[in-house]
Amino acid sequence: MDTGAARSGAALMLVALRFLVPLLVVLTVVYLSLSWRSRGIRRDKLEAKWEEKGLAGDREAFVERGLRRYDKSIRKKLLLGVYIVPLGLIALLIYVTNYM
């Protein structure tokens, strides 16, 4: 068994982790910020819709129902692109660099 190759593989993994862990932390902060902002904008739009239509009943219940629908919407899921796009581009770059 070649211990030199095993060591270089382990060193490569440590370099990758030193790069990926901070990247994932930054992407998580970006995702949470975008998610919070997007949900706030949606809340504002629902409240404006409530006022505009002059609806009767519980305003908070109306807004909460709208936000639950928003949480299940494709728009909310598109925010996951914050993770998918950068990590996919990094994987593509690594592939192109090493195998083409």
pTM exceeding the 0.95 threshold for the entire prediction: no
Q: What is the Cα gyration radius of the chain?
A: 22
Cα angle for residues 62, 77, 84 (degrees, 5° grid):
160
32 φ, ψ (degrees, to nearest 5): -65, -40
Residue 78: how many CB atoms within 10 A of its CB? 12
* Average pLDDT over every residue of 34-50: 93
Quickly list H helices, 1-100. 3-53, 59-71, 74-78, 81-99
Average pLDDT across the chain, whole number: 87
* Structure-block tokens of residue 31: 């995702």
pLDDT class of 77 with cuts at 50, 70, 90: confident
- Cα 36 → chain centroid: 11
Domain edges within the chain: 22-99
Dihedral class, residue 57 (left if φ above 0, else alpha if ψ from -120 to 50, else beta): left
Residue 72 gets which letter from DSSP? T
